[in-house]
Amino acid sequence: MKHALSRWPSRHADPAADALAELATVVAETAPVGDWPAQAACRDDATDRHWPTGREGSPRYERQAAAALDMCRFCPVRAQCLAYALEAGEDDGIWGGTTPAQRRSRLECDRTAAATRSHIAS
């Protein structure tokens, strides 16, 4: 009985492991950098709940914001979303579990802290 030669080169100890490693490399190279939106809890939300209407502080605005903040509460990429909003200067909408007022307050605190550090260092 004659044995057929293996289709796999002898250097492959485990063809499946090599194939999986190659697939992982391809996925890593083609996935967009910072692909956190694809993992966000709101990714399939067809409503505008993250864009409350009305004046900030009004009952209507607060009710709509609360619905969005509830969705953000357990989001796995909440920190990345907030970091994006702060870096991009997002003035509207709910981002990273924060309202525009909360982000403005945080940015003001960050500026004050930076100024204090600069004053202390000089």
Q: For residue 41, what pLDDT is reported?
A: 93
Q: Tell me: the pLDDT tens digits for 47-74? A: 888 999 999 999 999 999 999 999 999 9
Q: For residue 35, what pLDDT is reported?
A: 87
Q: For residue 111, what pLDDT is reported?
A: 83
- Tell me the domain boundaries of the chain: 32-121
User: b/e for 55-84, b at 16 or more Cβ within 10 A?
Assistant: eeeeeeeeebbeebbebbeebebbebbbeb
Pull the structure tokens for residue 84: 């994006």
Give the predicted TM-score (pTM) of the model: 0.64
Stretches in the chain below the pLDDT threshold 70: 1-33
Q: For residue 31, what pLDDT is reported?
A: 45
